[in-house]
């Protein structure tokens, strides 16, 4: 089931906390990835707040758009 004799293959690191603790030795790409990972919860919070506040307005606009599109489609086929 598992290949235990294949020890010398390179594995991609997923959890790099040891690397993230030493900021000066990190590569430029690792620094960017760490900043993105730290800022993602803030982005998710703002998106959640926006959607929770304007859900009904967004749904109303989508319904109006679909209604107008449906009426225009019926008008073209006649």
Determine what percent of the chain is predicted with pLDDT higher than 90.
Answer: 42
CA separation, residue 27 to residues 21, 37, 48, 65 (Å): 13, 15, 32, 47
pTM: 0.54
Using pLDDT thresholds of 50, 70 and 90, give the confidence band for residue 24: confident
What own/partner pairs with CB < 8 Å and gap ≥ 24 does 13-17 have? none
Using pLDDT thresholds of 50, 70 and 90, give the confidence band for residue 25: confident
Residue 20 has pLDDT above 80, yes or no: no
Burial (CB count <10 Å: 0-12, 13-18, 19+), residue 19: middle
Q: Tell me: the pLDDT tens digits for 37-57?
A: 899 999 999 999 999 999 999
């Amino acid at each position: 089931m598992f290949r235990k004799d294949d020890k010398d293959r390179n594995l991609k690191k997923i959890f790099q906390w040891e690397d993230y603790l030493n900021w000066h030795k990190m590569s430029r790409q690792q620094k960017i990835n760490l900043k993105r990972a730290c800022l993602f919860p803030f982005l998710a919070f703002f998106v959640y707040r926006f959607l929770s506040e304007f859900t009904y307005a967004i749904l109303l606009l989508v319904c109006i758009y679909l209604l107008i599109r449906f009426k225009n489609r019926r008008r073209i086929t006649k």
